[in-house]
Amino acid sequence: MNNSETLSIISKLISFKSITPLGLDCLEYVSSFLKELNFSVEIIQYGPVYNMFAKLKKSDGPHVCFGGHVDVVPPGNEWNHNPYELTQQNSNGKEMISGLGIVDMKGAIGCFLSALKDCINNIKGTVSVLLTTDEEGDAVDGIRKVIENHKLSNEKFDLFVLGEPSCYKIAGDAIKIGRRGSVTGIISLKGKKGHIAYPEFTNSSINPLKDILDILHNKTIGERNEYFEASRVQVTGISNENQTENVIPGDLQICFGARFNSNYTGEKIIEKLSEKINKACNKYDIKYSIAWKKHGESFVVHDKNIIQWIRDSVKNISGKEIDFNANGATSDGRFLTKLGPVVEIGLNEDQAHQTNECTELSNIKILQNIYCELLKNMTNMPSSKSSN
């Protein structure tokens, strides 16, 4: 399939206004495409969310599943063109293509569909496609629910390839073989409010703020390791619902989040931060509570043979060295890693959720060829081991 046909697929995908949790029409388009290639397709609904699992067994052999999402974040109103139309333009001598979700991740989906059509007669083994409309939102009724409630637990998966944005500049120059874990928290501080003219009769909830920021704001926890940067915690918001200019606040909320590497579990991060926050609040005699939320544990592919097979396949196309890493935000890989090793090979990570989201036109052909090479080389894939 030539580049114009691949772009036609991507253009169609981008035309669907699939803001989370919408996207049934987009999944139906993908479903029709795959049925023409003799895939069995099932669309599964949980609440307002739609999921799709398609499968084609060509012969005995490895099972590779392409996973991802068709939902996108709202575009905002600052785009310089219709975000639901694929637009080509020249920028600083480079041919660029732009559209809502082009890198996150409708461009990758289009490249994989195109690769499937090109390579369908050369595939030996089983190929499946797992897509959801609930990745950019709470991710409750998407891939997570499918794994919990569906027959996927009866499948043997040798490898999941997600089309999440992963490369730096050129498709294939960086591949994610894991992701950091994520926990978030909201601290509710309870002091004693009063008039700013009489601070001696108050106990401001702001008093421990500096100490808490020293714990939570742009701080690292522990050390980096082979594939992960050091764990990091960030404050994301500070609010006082009853703010009045002449009142010392009694109540304050601090929102924060931690992204942690494989040196820690979510429980360990909660334990470490809770101990420090408790000390800071007790110092100022401020009562507090913390609402914690665990979004997922870290994961990484440890099997060096799988990594080497991916390296060889991708280098056959790109001819470049690959940075295997586990940086970035969470993805649905945190659910899929329970079923098999997960890697993420997609377009430019720096463009995810950006206004005028774009990638170089040449990346489309490169990514399509990478996917095709992986599909054609499935029989050479080493037996997978646990990815955790």
CATH of the domain at 104: 3.40.630.10
**Is residue 80 a contact partner of residue 319, using CB atoms and an 8 Å limit?**
no
- Which of 278, 296, 314 is at the close of a domain? 296
Same domain, 149 and 45: yes
Asked if residue 385 belongs to a domain, the reply is no
Tokens of 7: 């772009």
Per-residue confidence (pLDDT) for residue 4, from 0 to 100 = 87
Same domain, 203 and 62: no
- Which of 253, 269, 296 is at the close of a domain? 296
Asked if residue 388 belongs to a domain, the reply is no
Asked if residue 115 belongs to a domain, the reply is yes
Which residue numbers in the chain have pLDDT < 50? 386-388
pTM of the model: 0.89
Same domain, 210 and 274: yes
Q: Which residues on adjacent β-strands are paired with residue 376?
A: none
Per-residue confidence (pLDDT) for residue 327, from 0 to 100 = 85
- Which of 296, 327, 347 is at the close of a domain? 296
Burial class for 93, CB neighbours closer than 10 Å (0-12, 13-18, 19+): exposed
Same domain, 46 and 31: yes
Tokens of 262: 């494989």
Question: Cβ–Cβ contacts within 10 Å for residue 227, how many?
Answer: 20
Asked if residue 386 belongs to a domain, the reply is no
Confirm whether 211 is a catalytic residue.
no
Q: Nearest 5°: phi and psi at 111?
A: -65, -40
Helices 107-119 + 24-35 axis angle, to 10: 10
Asked if residue 349 belongs to a domain, the reply is yes
CATH of the domain at 230: 3.30.70.360
Same domain, 113 and 165: yes
Q: Which residues on adjacent β-strands are paired with residue 287?
A: 190
Same domain, 174 and 195: no
Asked if residue 342 belongs to a domain, the reply is yes
Q: What is the C-alpha to C-alpha distance for residues 384 and 301, in angstroms, rounded to an integer?
A: 10
| Strand runs labelled E in 224-305 | 231-239, 247-248, 251-260, 287-296, 299-300
Convert the pLDDT of each residue in 228-252 to its tens digit: 999 999 999 999 977 788 999 999 9
Active-site option among 71, 118, 173, 297: 71
In the block, residue with structure tokens 């989370």: 20
Confirm whether 271 is a catalytic residue.
no
Per-residue confidence (pLDDT) for residue 91, from 0 to 100 = 83
Same domain, 49 and 175: yes
Polymer length of the chain: 388
**Is residue 352 a contact partner of residue 165, using CB atoms and an 8 Å limit?**
yes
Per-residue confidence (pLDDT) for residue 388, from 0 to 100 = 47
Task: Render the burial of 323-355: b for 16+ CB within 10 Å, e for the rest.
Answer: ebbbbbebbbbbbbbebbbbbbbbbbbebbbee
DSSP secondary structure, 173-213, as one string:
SEEESEE-EEEEEEEEEE-B-EETT-GGG-B-TTTTHHHHH
Same domain, 190 and 174: no
Same domain, 373 and 231: no
Domain that holds residue 284: 181-296
**Total number of domains constituting the chain:** 2
Q: Which residues contact 352 (CB under 8 A, 6 or more apart)?
A: 103, 104, 165
Same domain, 83 and 204: no
Same domain, 189 and 78: no
Asked if residue 175 belongs to a domain, the reply is yes
Same domain, 248 and 134: no
Q: Can you say whether the dihedral through the CA atoms of 370, 376, 380, 382 is positive or negative?
A: positive
Active-site option among 104, 135, 141, 332: 135
In the block, residue with structure tokens 């890989």: 333
Q: What is the C-alpha to C-alpha distance for residues 35 and 1, in angstroms, rounded to an integer?
A: 18
